[in-house]
Structure 1
Amino acid sequence: MKNHEIITLTVNPALDKSAHFTGLVPEQKIRCQQPSFDAGGGGINVSKAISRLGGDSLAVFTAGGPTGEMIKELLVKESVAIDPIAVQNWTRESFVAVDDNTNSQYRFGFPGAVISEEEIDTILKKAAAFSSHFLVLSGSLNEGLPLDFYKQIAVLAKKSGTKVIADTSGASLEKVLETGVYLIKPNVGELAKLVGEASLEMEEVNEAAKKIIAKGGAEIVVVSLGPQGAVLVTKDSYDYVPAPNVVKKSTVGAGDSMVGGMVWALSQNKNLSEVIRWGVACGSAATMNDGTQLFKVEDAKRLFEWLKGK
């Protein structure tokens, strides 16, 4: 198998379905327009983002049933290299619906089906054989997976010198920090929980991120500030990048697009100032599109040029 600079792992992917409707009325049938489908889930979206930027990654993910087959077909159409792991239970779906009367977006997510012990063992064995410069662990965990599952994979990856990027949340992220990774991307609320605070003000973000770095949890902490932009923190630097003013249509996949832009920039040996700006550019560009379709590369490039002076 070809060696890839970047590998993404998605244990709980989703077939993303999106549609428009007119008027949300309780207890009445809501007639939707023809739906569109996208391959989704944290790491899968990261690989899609990298592909759009002209980068190279391998998307490793579980796939079961007709939904899993459709995800594989959609990724092949986008020229994303894939290495699916067959599982017995069907891959989950998610649904995004937009009310054209109000432009309100409704997002429905479902839990991932249980993965068997044999399938867990298959994932871990595959992870032990990964050979890449960067490994992205992104997205939620299926029901029944241990909370330290990403930590187990990070330990395996670090043995070969791979730089691990973890984009998950809650107890799963806390466990990953115990072994230490290269980069994490919490939002402000998640960062607050990681340092034992109920909330954080903007001026407290830098200190909170540096606490994680000082404990060896991560070398780089990128904190997503939503419409305010993002900050990148290392042990001796702090870089705030404002979000460009764009017309937002959907926030689905914006965080994954941000991670994809940053990992692609890292793989191109760009400095950290460019890395965070590519992340913000891709994340912001993703919000300009309907449904679950991530970003257009021309939008990301235009926004990056604007951010270079910020």
Structure 2
Amino acid sequence: MTQIATLTLNPTIDVAYEVDRVFHTRKIRTNSEFYAPGGGGINVARVFARLGGQATCHYLAGGVTGAALDNLLDRQGLSRNRVAISGPTRISFAALERESGKEFRFVPPGPAILPEEWRECLARLRDVECEFLVASGSLPPGIPGDFYARVASIMASRRIPFVLDSSGAGLSGGLAAGAIHLVTPSIGELAQLAGRPLDSRESLRAAAMDLVRSNKARNVAVTLGHEGALLADASGTRFVPAVKVVTRSAVGAGDSFLAAMVYGMGEGWTIDDAFRFGLAAGAAAVMNPGHDLADKDDVWRLYRQVPDID
């Protein structure tokens, strides 16, 4: 059984509501209420465990909301390693308006992290035991832009494959270390890295291959939403269209994609089959409401519908 560790620097308690209609000023009564531990790495761990793997969550959390996050993780049955911080863990919430089918999401920036706090996190990662380390999520205030590069260097020294899913400074800073095992940018994030619009399949392929040829990442999986995804490695690029499903929420689709792809790699599958499994998990996630992630049975069912890669 594959054992991974996930890193979440800016976790959240995700609260989801369903309402008949959203109004300004007036009090809006909700029809349902859901609570879940969230943040990129934690979501990856939740899906990875559903698929049959083992995951330990490493995360920064503080305040009474940090204690509540611990409790939510315990209820999920996930192993955890919390780095205590002085600031309170953030709470994000989403409201699904039944009348329109639209989802409204509110995401705060999170607490500022003190230097001694992020240094403690790095120190603990030097002793982590896993087959893959997956860092997912943006950098919270106070953490330097090269933080993920430092993590990558630690993992490289221990020969543990490092997987990165971030944006902005977290993505560009992490790639600066080079030799990332897998990176999963969206098309918008890849365009920002490339410094140019990627308005054609050719430009997209070229930007992804630039990361491979410059030794910044061995494998690049670019998510394209409802269009599918593109995979690039030393053998070239290939595109796979998305499985057509009814979309209920986009929350957690990228994390589900990443969890399933890492699961496939951990099981010894080819990178192409792991990539296809990730696509199935992304599709499974959007079928569910915003308070949930990919369901195991849905992932396996949709995997059989993903086209083979020639």
Shift of 1:309: 4.2
Provide the C-alpha distance between the structure 1 equivalents of 2:17 and 2:161, rounded to a whole number of angstroms. 38
Of the three residues 47, 50, 56, the one matched with 2:48 is 50
Shift of 1:141: 1.3
Is the contact made by 2:139 and 2:169 (CA closer than 8 Å) also made in structure 1? no
Match of 2:139, SS? Answer: coil
Match for residue 84 of structure 2?
86
Is the contact made by 2:187 and 2:222 (CA closer than 8 Å) also made in structure 1? yes
Question: In angstroms, what is the RMSD of aligned CA positions?
Answer: 1.5
Shift of 1:308: 5.0
Is the contact made by 1:177 and 1:216 (CA closer than 8 Å) also made in structure 2? no
Provide the C-alpha distance between the structure 1 equivalents of 2:73 and 2:113, rounded to a whole number of angstroms. 22
What's the % identity of the aligned pairs? 35
Please say if 1:67 is aligned against 2:65. Answer: yes
Match of 1:60, SS? Answer: strand
Shift of 1:78: 2.0
Provide the C-alpha distance between the structure 1 equivalents of 2:76 and 2:243, rounded to a whole number of angstroms. 27
Provide the C-alpha distance between the structure 1 equivalents of 2:194 and 2:63, rounded to a whole number of angstroms. 40
Is the contact made by 1:13 and 1:40 (CA closer than 8 Å) also made in structure 2? yes
Q: Give matches, 1:1-310, under 5 Å.
A: 5-180=3-178, 181-307=180-306, 309=308
The Cα offsets for residues 270-306 of structure 1, whole Å up to 9 and x where unpaired, read as 1112111111111110001112310111111100011
Identify if the C-alpha distance between structure 1 residues 297 and 242 changes in structure 2 by more than 3 Å, giving closer, same or farther.
same
Is the contact made by 2:253 and 2:281 (CA closer than 8 Å) also made in structure 1? yes
Provide the C-alpha distance between the structure 1 equivalents of 2:173 and 2:141, rounded to a whole number of angstroms. 17
Provide the C-alpha distance between the structure 1 equivalents of 2:268 and 2:307, rounded to a whole number of angstroms. 17
Give the letter for the 1:63 counterpart: A
Give the letter for the 2:271 counterpart: L
Shift of 1:64: 1.4
Provide the C-alpha distance between the structure 1 equivalents of 2:301 and 2:307, rounded to a whole number of angstroms. 10
Shift of 1:76: 2.1
Provide the C-alpha distance between the structure 2 equivalents of 1:24 and 1:212, rounded to a whole number of angstroms. 43
Is the contact made by 1:186 and 1:223 (CA closer than 8 Å) also made in structure 2? yes
Is the contact made by 1:195 and 1:208 (CA closer than 8 Å) also made in structure 2? yes
Identify if the C-alpha distance between structure 1 residues 4 and 70 changes in structure 2 by more than 3 Å, giving closer, same or farther.
farther
Is the contact made by 1:220 and 1:234 (CA closer than 8 Å) also made in structure 2? yes
Provide the C-alpha distance between the structure 1 equivalents of 2:90 and 2:289, rounded to a whole number of angstroms. 21
Provide the C-alpha distance between the structure 2 equivalents of 1:71 and 1:168, rounded to a whole number of angstroms. 21
Identify if the C-alpha distance between structure 1 residues 178 and 304 changes in structure 2 by more than 3 Å, giving closer, same or farther.
same
Shift of 1:261: 0.5
Is the contact made by 1:4 and 1:58 (CA closer than 8 Å) also made in structure 2? no
Give the letter for the 1:270 counterpart: W
The Cα offsets for residues 154-186 of structure 1, whole Å up to 9 and x where unpaired, read as 111111011111100112211111111111111
Provide the C-alpha distance between the structure 1 equivalents of 2:202 and 2:287, rounded to a whole number of angstroms. 29
Identify if the C-alpha distance between structure 1 residues 56 and 303 changes in structure 2 by more than 3 Å, giving closer, same or farther.
same
Is the contact made by 1:19 and 1:97 (CA closer than 8 Å) also made in structure 2? yes
Shift of 1:70: 2.2
Shift of 1:97: 0.3
Task: Please report the TM-score for the alignment, with normalisation by the length of structure 2.
Answer: 0.95
Provide the C-alpha distance between the structure 2 equivalents of 1:200 and 1:192, rounded to a whole number of angstroms. 9
Is the contact made by 2:37 and 2:72 (CA closer than 8 Å) also made in structure 1? yes
Is the contact made by 1:4 and 1:56 (CA closer than 8 Å) also made in structure 2? yes
Match of 2:230, SS? Answer: strand
May I ask how many residue pairs the two structures share in their alignment? 308
Match of 1:307, SS? Answer: coil
Shift of 1:217: 0.8
Is the contact made by 1:241 and 1:276 (CA closer than 8 Å) also made in structure 2? no
Q: Which runs of 4+ in 1 moved over 4 A?
A: none
Shift of 1:4: 7.2
Is the contact made by 1:8 and 1:60 (CA closer than 8 Å) also made in structure 2? yes
The Cα offsets for residues 39-62 of structure 1, whole Å up to 9 and x where unpaired, read as 000000000010000001211111
Which consecutive residues of structure 1, in runs of 5 or more, have no partner in the other structure? none
Match of 1:300, SS? Answer: helix
